[in-house]
Amino acid sequence: MQANNLKEDKAVFAYPKQVCFKCVRCALCCGDTENRTRHILLLKEETRRIAVKTSMSVAEFATEIVGSEPYVYEMRKKPENGQCVFLEDKLCSIYEFRPLICRFYPFKLEKTKNGKRKFLYTRECPGIGLGKLLGKRYFEKLLQRAFSQIESEMKSA
């Protein structure tokens, strides 16, 4: 993603118009399932922040990856159940500073063939269809958070 295109990219995006969501705290998103292997990707700055806040070395909770830029690490999972190393009794122990990818779930942002941004969601999440109808403002906030973090990554690179 080019820095000079970020402002233009922020302006135009598509989002689901008739979707409700409320987190039911099931922790499905925090680990592998029978049908899906989770990849909790981390930005460099997120990884640094988690290390500082938890007093852990990066190697204790993440592995370095290539080819998924701007993400450069992947969260480790517990070998016995495929859940995030920070999941404890269906609660995230780093919730206050959880990664961007976790903040987005059950939504994800993709770039379409024509270069526009589009929010998609997974129906595997039991919270889809519950809670309030989400409007454009909700997705604008998600997008703003993503671009802010990515801009910060690009400046520190």
Tell whether the torsion through CA atoms of 111, 18, 29 and 52 is positive or negative: positive
Residue range 15-42: mean pLDDT, rounded: 94
Is the Cβ–Cβ distance between 94 and 54 less than 8 Å? yes
Report how far residue 75's alpha carbon sits from residue 62's, in angstroms, rounded to the nearest whole number.
4
- On the question of pLDDT at 2 being above 50, the answer is no
pLDDT at 76: 97
- On the question of pLDDT at 71 being above 50, the answer is yes
Q: Which residue is listed with tokens 């598509």?
A: 14
The parent domain of residue 129 ranges over 3-156
Is the Cβ–Cβ distance between 50 and 100 less than 8 Å? no
Counting the structural domains of the chain, the total is 1
Return the ∠ at Cα 24 (arms to 40 and 43), rounded to 5°.
20
Q: Which residue is listed with tokens 């939504």?
A: 107
